[in-house]
């Protein structure tokens, strides 16, 4: 039947027209038809290999806010306290400054209901003490001025007295010299009178008169010498008195200045206490303002971390999380270090957002539907803890706007578009495990796109 044996051929005995199986598989020209189909498919595949293919890097990401102050944040308590009242619910919209919660004190240092008034009274008392010390300092200054003036007068008086003593010494010394001269004359005369008396030229009465004159001259000389010595002693007394006056007034002035500096020290200490009390008053006043937890910006209350009434919170404990109402969306993506050199600021990226249907050909972005364009805005210079580099992608100003229903945290599948290559080259690259081609793109177009992105961001801000 297969016509492979040397025995008698039995093919003429088989009636092929009567058998159903031969009718289904044996048709005139069936081999030529199969050959044409195979050739056509091979030609189509060959043409397909030369079609353009856009190389890309695909990574997962999620939506975030471009500005740090527009991202979800947690409101913390600045002071410790006890939850007393809630003013909002989860999902409520609040404006900047709206009250979220009221807390009460739990520290005994702040239980006094008249705390601010008492501190204010302490400040006034200390200010009065400062004023008293200032007046005392003024009085001591006046006392020192008076002592200085009195010192000058006393010194002038003592100097005048010393001059008088010098003049008196001169006068007494002159009298003493005159008395000594008279005594010398009297002594000479008595000698001559004694000689004359022995020669009986003068009487005894005249001799005795001369003796009396000698005694008087001697007495006057002794008296003049005594006066001179007293005058010299007065000079020493005047000098001592002058030094005593200077020392006494120096001691009094030093004592007054010591009291003055002690008063100044006490005044400065009181001023420091006043400043400290004023600081304490401001701190207490500011602390009382922290009893009301307010919203830092417009947004929505997303989750209450602390719940209930009467619950105790510490400094820095989270209270509620808030999502800002106004924010600029961006996609946060992570790329492998091997792919980082292929990514540049301003490079195009296509996104598939969670919840938005899309029909995607990663190599043919123009044939895809449901994707949205983006531009790389920033790339971190330091690797993240997950071993990848983070980059931020913002909406492409020259593409369709992103859906208005997107929220921060929504997942995004990013496709960074690279160089256009033939499909056969891409298959060869994938088969060998080579990275995509390094592609810088058109520099002028890239700079124009970056400028357009910056202008758009400035307008939003």
Would you state the pLDDT for residue 443?
A: 47
> Between the ranges 19-33, 204-218, 337-351, 426-440, where is the mean pLDDT highest?
337-351
User: What tokens were used for 379?
Assistant: 């790339």
Question: Comparing C-alpha atoms, which of 355, 397, 389, 356 is closest to residue 373?
Answer: 397
Question: Hey, what CATH topology would domain 53-70+327-460 get?
Answer: Elongation Factor Tu (Ef-tu); domain 3 (2.40.30)
pLDDT band per the 50, 70, 90 thresholds, residue 419? low
Average pLDDT over residues 115-142: 88
* pLDDT higher than threshold 80 for residue 81: yes
pLDDT band per the 50, 70, 90 thresholds, residue 164? confident
Q: How far is CA 290 from CA 76, 99, 111, in A?
A: 11, 11, 15
**Model confidence, pTM:** 0.56
The full set of domain ranges for the chain reads 53-70+327-460, 73-105+291-323, 115-288
Q: How far is CA 391 from CA 55, 154, 309, 335, 338, in A?
A: 19, 90, 43, 8, 14
Would you state the pLDDT for residue 369?
A: 62
Cβ neighbours of 342 (radius 10 Å):
20
Domain at 73-105+291-323: CATH architecture = Beta Barrel (2.40)
Neighbouring-strand partners of residue 303: 321
276 vs 432, higher pLDDT: 276
Would you state the pLDDT for residue 234?
A: 81
Task: Let me know if 262 is exposed, middle or buried by CB neighbors in 10 A (0-12, 13-18, 19+).
Answer: middle
* pLDDT higher than threshold 70 for residue 168: yes
222 vs 189, higher pLDDT: 222
* pLDDT higher than threshold 70 for residue 48: no
Would you state the pLDDT for residue 392?
A: 92
Would you state the pLDDT for residue 279?
A: 92
Window from 147-156, 253-262, 400-409, 410-419 with minimum mean pLDDT: 410-419
| 83, 96 contact by CB (below 8 A) | no
pLDDT band per the 50, 70, 90 thresholds, residue 367? low
Average pLDDT over the chain, rounded to an integer: 78
Question: Hey, what CATH topology would domain 115-288 get?
Answer: Helix Hairpins (1.10.287)
Neighbouring-strand partners of residue 91: none
Strands 318-324 and 73-76: antiparallel
d(CA 263, CA 257): 10
d(CA 77, CA 294): 10
411 vs 51, higher pLDDT: 411
Window from 11-20, 38-47, 66-75 with minimum mean pLDDT: 11-20
Would you state the pLDDT for residue 454?
A: 56
* pLDDT higher than threshold 60 for residue 242: yes
Question: Comparing C-alpha atoms, which of 374, 372, 376, 392 is closest to residue 343?
Answer: 376
d(CA 367, CA 124): 81
Would you state the pLDDT for residue 240?
A: 83
Residues 6+ apart with CB under 8 A from 354: 410, 411, 412
Would you state the pLDDT for residue 386?
A: 87
* pLDDT higher than threshold 60 for residue 399: yes
Average pLDDT over residues 354-367: 64
d(CA 421, CA 419): 6
What tens digit of pLDDT does each residue of 4-15 get?
A: 555 555 555 655
* pLDDT higher than threshold 60 for residue 440: no
Q: What strands lie across the sheet with 93-94, from one edge to the other?
A: 73-76, 318-324, 299-304, 93-94
* pLDDT higher than threshold 80 for residue 21: no
């Amino acid at each position: 039947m297969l016509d492979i044996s040397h025995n008698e051929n039995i093919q003429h005995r088989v009636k092929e027209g009567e058998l159903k199986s031969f009718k289904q598989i044996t048709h005139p020209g069936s081999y030529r038809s199969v050959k044409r189909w195979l050739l056509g498919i091979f030609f189509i595949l060959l043409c397909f290999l030369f079609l353009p293919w856009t190389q890309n890097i695909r990574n997962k990401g999620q939506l975030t806010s471009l500005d740090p102050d527009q991202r979800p944040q947690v409101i913390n308590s600045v002071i410790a306290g006890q939850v007393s009242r809630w003013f909002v619910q989860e999902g409520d919209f609040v404006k900047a400054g709206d009250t979220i919660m009221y807390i009460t004190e739990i520290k005994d240092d702040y239980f006094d209901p008249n705390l601010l008034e008492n501190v204010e009274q302490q400040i006034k008392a200390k200010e009065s003490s400062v004023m008293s010390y200032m007046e005392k300092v003024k009085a001591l200054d006046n006392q020192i001025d008076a002592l200085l003036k009195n010192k000058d007068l006393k010194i002038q008086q003592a100097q005048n007295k010393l001059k008088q003593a010098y003049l008196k010494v001169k006068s007494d010394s002159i009298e003493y010299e005159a008395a000594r001269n008279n005594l010398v004359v009297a002594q000479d005369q008595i000698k001559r009178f004694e000689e004359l008396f022995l020669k009986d030229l003068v009487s005894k009465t005249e001799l005795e008169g001369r003796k009396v004159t000698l005694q008087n001259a001697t007495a006057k000389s002794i008296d003049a010498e005594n006066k001179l010595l007293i005058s010299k002693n007065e000079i020493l007394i005047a000098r001592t008195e002058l030094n005593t006056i200077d020392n006494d007034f120096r001691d009094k002035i030093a004592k007054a200045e010591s009291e003055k500096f002690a008063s100044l020290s006490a005044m400065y200490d009181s001023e420091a206490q006043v400043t400290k009390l004023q600081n304490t008053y401001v701190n207490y006043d500011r602390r009382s303002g922290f009893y009301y937890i307010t919203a830092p910006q417009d947004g929505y209350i997303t989750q209450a971390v602390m719940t209930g009434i009467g619950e105790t919170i510490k400094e820095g404990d989270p209270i509620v999380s808030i999502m800002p109402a106004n924010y600029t969306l961006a996609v946060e993506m992570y790329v492998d270090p091997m792919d980082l050199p292929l990514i540049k600021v301003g490079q195009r990226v296509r996104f598939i957002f969670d919840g938005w249907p899309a029909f995607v050909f990663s190599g043919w972005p123009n044939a895809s539907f449901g994707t949205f364009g983006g531009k790389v805005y920033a790339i971190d210079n330091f690797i993240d803890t997950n071993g990848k580099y983070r980059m931020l992608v913002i909406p492409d100003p020259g593409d369709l706007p992103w859906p208005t229903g997107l929220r921060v945290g929504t997942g995004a599948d990013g496709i960074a578009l690279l160089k256009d290559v033939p499909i056969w080259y891409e298959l060869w690259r994938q088969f060998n495990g080579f990275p995509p081609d390094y592609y810088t793109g058109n520099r002028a177009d890239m700079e124009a796109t970056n400028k357009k992105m910056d202008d758009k961001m400035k307008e939003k801000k």
